[in-house]
Every structure is written in structure tokens, then in C-alpha cells.
Structure 1
Amino acid sequence: MADDLPQLGDDEETALHELELGIEGLRKAHGYLVHFHHATGRAMNHLQIAESNLREAGHDEFADHIRDEILPCGVLGDDRWTYDMLETFEEEFFHDVLAFEQAIREDIAAGERHVKERRQQRRWRERAKD
């Protein structure tokens, strides 16, 4: 609740706010990765259809190239597929950042989120009463 905000210095408040903005940015990046994963999967499905069409049209060498060189490859250059990248982001990097941010928030702000915004909300409400 806005009345129970922890007492923080300006630097602490700013640091927590920047951490929150960083987390929000990473959540947005996660969405982009999910979109990239899905878009890549749809594109690969189209390539698989093209392989079939090329084979039916008598272009086995082109169909074989799609089957053998494109479809089984990872798009990240080291034989990793997009789901590998997504899982690594979620389970390693993002998980660790979230845990770090939560620990800092617990230590500095009694676990409270959006301290800067809550303080702004309180100031605006007080100003409206005056």
C-alpha cells in the first residue's frame, strides 16, 4: 500500500526503478524471442512444403538440399534451434536476473515493487486533495 512504502534514499529508489525497467525490457525481449521462434517455425513449414513441391516437379537436387541442408540446421549458426535459445534465455539468464532483482527488492524495499510509481501516485493523490 502507498502509505506503507519503505524509507529509501533517492539513489536506492532510482536503482530499484532502473532494475524494474530492465526486467520489463527483458520481458519484452522474451516476447520477441517467442515471436522469432514461432515465425521461424512457420517459415520452416513453408520450406518443407517447397521441398515436396520441388520433388513432385522433378527437382530432386533442390528438394534434397532443403531436406538435408536447411531443415535440419539450427538457425543460430552452432546447430542450435530457436527453442534452444528461448529455453536458455528463460531457464538460465532471465531466471537468474529475476532472482537477483527480487533479492535486492526484498533487502532494500521489503519486497515492494514499483516504489517510484507508488510514491508518485501518493504525491499526485495528495496534491489532488489540496
Structure 2
Amino acid sequence: MSDDLPKLTDDEETALHELELGVEGLRKAHGYLVHFHHATGRAMNHLQVAESNLREAGHDEFADHIRDEILPSGVLGDDRWTYELLETFEEEFFEHVVTFEQAVCENVASGERHVKERRQQRRWRERARD
């Protein structure tokens, strides 16, 4: 971190902070998508076990429904699987937003990140020394 923070207007500082918070929110959303992807996969594994159990119990029509209708279908309504949602989020949206945020930060704040927090940190440390 540079001791000399970039000279920013209040509006620039606020805009950068909101942009950073937006990216942080998307990182959190990404985590939720990964969790959704894993939870869905575990659930589908249980359904596969249920298919076998139903077949062993003599309920082939129910086992066939799981095998033919549930397991191969996508959970998103348009036949996409959760990994496809995750990949689309990462590659077509999130990557673009992160690259944009980095470019704005470079252009407006000489690449310094978390300028608002750095200024607050400096104020609190100066106050503590006084």
C-alpha cells in the first residue's frame, strides 16, 4: 500500500467503494452458486440410489422415471445443468465485471484498491496516536 493515497473527489471515492462492494457481492453470489451446484449434485446422487432401491423393490415404473426423466434433465428449466449456470456466470458475467472494476480502479485511483477503507484506517490510526 502506498502511503500517498490517490487524490480523489468524494464522488470518485464513493463510486469506487460501491463498485468494490458490488464485486464483493458477486464473489459471495459465486460461492452460493458453487454451493448450489454441489448440493444439487449430492441430491442427484441420492435420487440415483433411490432409482436402484425402487427397482429392487419391484417398482420399475418409478425407477424408470428417475432414470429417464429426472436424472438426465437439467434443473434450470431449459435443460441446463448447474455446472453450466456456474460456467456462464463465471465466464460471461463475473469475469467481465471484475475486469471492468480493475480498469476503473487503475484509471481513477492509480490501481489502489479499497481507498475508502485505507483512508478510514489512516484516520483511526492518527486519532489513536493523538
Q: If the length of structure 1 is used for normalisation, what is the TM-score?
A: 0.98
Unmatched segments (≥5 aa) in structure 1 = none
- 1:116 equivalent in structure 2: 116
- One-letter code aligned to 2:10: D
- 1:20 equivalent in structure 2: 20
- Cα displacement string for residues 68-97 of structure 1 (whole angstroms, at most 9, x for unaligned residues): 000000000000000000000111100000
**1:1-130 mapped onto 2 (5 Å cutoff):** 1=1, 3-130=3-130
8 Å CA contact retained: 1:51, 1:64: yes
Q: If the length of structure 2 is used for normalisation, what is the TM-score?
A: 0.98
- One-letter code aligned to 1:97: V
Identity %: 86
Unmatched segments (≥5 aa) in structure 2 = none
**Root mean square deviation, CA, Å:** 0.7
Q: Detail structure 1 runs of 4+ shifted over 6 Å in the superposition.
A: none
- The number of residue pairs the alignment matches comes to 130
TM-aligned CA deviation for residue 2 of structure 1 = 5.2
CA distance in 2, matches of 1:55, 1:4: 70
